[in-house]
Amino acid sequence: MSDTSNPTPAGGQQPTRPTPPPAHPYPAASPAPQPPSYPAAPPAPPTQAHPGTAHPNYAAPVYPAPRPSSGLAITSLICGIAGVVLSWAVLPLLASIVAVITGHMALRQTKANPMIGGRGMAFAGLIMGYVMVAVLVIGIVLTVIGFLFFGAFTLPFLFAS
């Protein structure tokens, strides 16, 4: 029977170990510089609200409540927009007049009570209302002048058909 636990090879020589790699021909780089160490920050003093704690007590910011908008200002803005959008119908003249009236009422209301907002909406409704009233008045005047001076209401025009 043969002994298989012997690590010696058949020739009786011990196996050789590999040699370590040669040293690097260049010198090793210097180690990276270490950042400077700073002293630790002193602990925060305890607050009045919670004695013995190390954290300051920060309160949440307090925002004022939003001012309610004037209903007249909203009405003025909506009627002004309706007058511009519906400029092809009869409605814009009525909507623009309502926008002007409610806009002036809203400006008076917001001036008397500063707790009510909506001044910008009132101005926007007033501007759109006045612009559309001016456009419609110019359109009506030009239509009447056209009918009068170009013979729309003359007798030959009425009996020509």
Q: Which of 37-46, 62-71, 98-107, 135-144 has the highest mean pLDDT?
A: 98-107
**Separation CA 5–CA 28 (nearest Å):** 45
Backbone angles phi, psi at 123, to 5 degrees: -65, -45
For residues 131-154, average pLDDT: 81
- Residue 99 reports pLDDT greater than 70: yes
* pLDDT category of residue 151 using cuts at 50, 70 and 90: low
Domain boundaries, the chain: 71-134
* The pLDDT value given to residue 90: 67
Beta bridge partners of 117: 69
Identify residue 15 by its one-letter amino acid code: P
Backbone angles phi, psi at 98, to 5 degrees: -65, -40
Find tokens 């011990």 and name the residue. Answer: 14
**Separation CA 111–CA 103 (nearest Å):** 12
Q: What percent of the chain has pLDDT over 70?
A: 65
